[in-house]
């Protein structure tokens, strides 16, 4: 068994009781590494750059489900809308509108997660909870028929302090539950997924209710650049 497949297998066993989706974050990694993971049974892959995701999509088997996990620019939405499985980092109303507009052109309903700002760091993207509730409750949101919000995504503060991380993940999970109970289901809203947890903190995330973990370096090894 290859090292990559072995890592996936180890993590899959470790998380088996949680029934979460393991997304193999393959950004910066060569096609061969992804093919190896796919041959070992891995279906969900995460990328953070549009150009890289498009070129990998074109080369690799069509059975792969592609997750856009990075900050997405509106002018690049068009390139991924035809094939993307889930867009994790929707962090503004303008971006959501742009996705809806492009999806409408090809008559697709694109699944998205709204990114919530949970970290202490200023630099992390995302909505705060009040903004999020306002958006979902707005009349304009009802009109977005070519997107479907299927959950929330968050990134914890980059710290070794597990208590801080746990607090932030718990906050995300609570926001998820709040939307479910206060708003319920709509044609374009069906809260099922909480995307949280990376190589360093996925067990903490799962204990806090994560349904999707985004794991890169623990599968493919360290990256040379972001």
186 CB-near residues (< 8 Å, 6+ apart): 142
Binding mask 1-30 for ligand PLP (x = CB under 6 A): ------------------------x-x---
Question: In angstroms, rounded to a whole number, what is the distance separating the alpha carbons of residues 156 and 167?
Answer: 9
93-152 residues in contact with ligand PLP (CB under 6 A) are none
User: How far apart, in Å, are the Cα atoms of 179 and each of 55, 59, 94, 190?
Assistant: 36, 38, 21, 10
Nearer to ligand PLP, 15 or 215 (CB): 215
- Contact with ligand PLP (CB under 6 A) among 194, 198, 204, 212: 198
- Contact with ligand PLP (CB under 6 A) among 22, 69, 103, 205: 69
Interface segment toward ligand PLP; rule CB under 6 A; list 57-65, 90-98, 137-145, 208-216: 208-216
40 CB-near residues (< 8 Å, 6+ apart): 1, 2, 4, 5, 8, 9
Question: In angstroms, rounded to a whole number, what is the distance separating the alpha carbons of residues 147 and 151?
Answer: 12
Q: Which of 59, 2, 67 is nearest to 216 (CA)?
A: 67
Interface segment toward ligand PLP; rule CB under 6 A; list 12-20, 29-37, 169-177, 210-218: 210-218
Which parts of this chain interact with ligand PLP (CB under 6 A)? 25, 27, 48, 69-70, 155, 198-200, 214-218
């Amino acid at each position: 068994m290859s090292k990559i497949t072995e890592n996936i297998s180890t993590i899959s066993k470790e998380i088996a009781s949680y029934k979460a989706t393991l997304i193999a974050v393959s950004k910066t990694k060569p096609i061969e590494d992804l093919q190896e993971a796919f041959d070992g049974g891995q279906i969900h892959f995460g990328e953070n750059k549009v150009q890289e995701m498009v070129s990998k999509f074109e080369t690799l088997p069509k059975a792969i489900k592609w997750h856009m996990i990075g900050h997405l620019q509106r002018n690049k939405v068009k390139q991924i809308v035809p094939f993307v499985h889930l867009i994790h980092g929707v962090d503004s109303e303008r971006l959501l509108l742009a996705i809806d507009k492009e999806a409408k052109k090809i008559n697709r309903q694109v699944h998205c997660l709204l990114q919530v700002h949970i970290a202490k760091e200023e630099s992390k993207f995302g909505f705060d909870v009040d903004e999020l509730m306002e958006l979902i409750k707005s009349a304009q949101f009802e009109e977005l028929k070519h997107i479907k919000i299927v959950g929330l995504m968050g990134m914890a503060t980059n710290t070794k302090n597990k208590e801080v991380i746990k607090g932030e993940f718990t906050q995300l999970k609570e926001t998820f539950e709040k939307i479910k109970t206060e708003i319920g289901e709509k044609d374009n809203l069906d809260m099922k997924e909480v995307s949280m947890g990376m190589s360093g903190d996925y067990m903490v995330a799962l204990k806090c209710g994560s349904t999707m973990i985004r794991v890169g370096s623990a599968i493919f090894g360290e990256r040379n650049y972001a």
